[in-house]
Amino acid sequence: MNMASAPPEPQAQRIAAARRRAHTAKLAFAAAGLAFFGIGMTLVKANVAGHSRRPLRPLDAPSRFQAIVRQDALAGGLLAPAQASPSAQTAQS
């Protein structure tokens, strides 16, 4: 009987069992990777900067500040021409 040509039966069973475990581990890694990718995509979609969950409001200064600036600009003649006082006269040449 030649032992080198045919492996003993217990060793063949061990190799087959190891291949089954390796195949199962590969499937588990693939499933975990797919689940991790899916969860990551869901989190990214929920937290992306361009996606707002609340209605947008304009980026304005407070209304009180706007009123003060408008009043000061009108008083200084920036928005409307300054009115000359009635005592101002143009000279005749």
Alpha carbon of 63 to those of 12, 43, 59, 68, 84: distances in Å? 83, 37, 12, 9, 31
**pTM, rounded to two decimals:** 0.42
Residue 73 contacts residue 79 (beta carbons within 8 Å): yes
Mean pLDDT of 50-77: 77
Given a cut of 60, whether residue 2 has pLDDT beyond it is no
pLDDT digits (tens, 9 = 90+) for 9-62: 888 899 999 999 999 999 999 999 999 999 999 888 887 776 667 777 778 888
Given a cut of 80, whether residue 88 has pLDDT beyond it is no
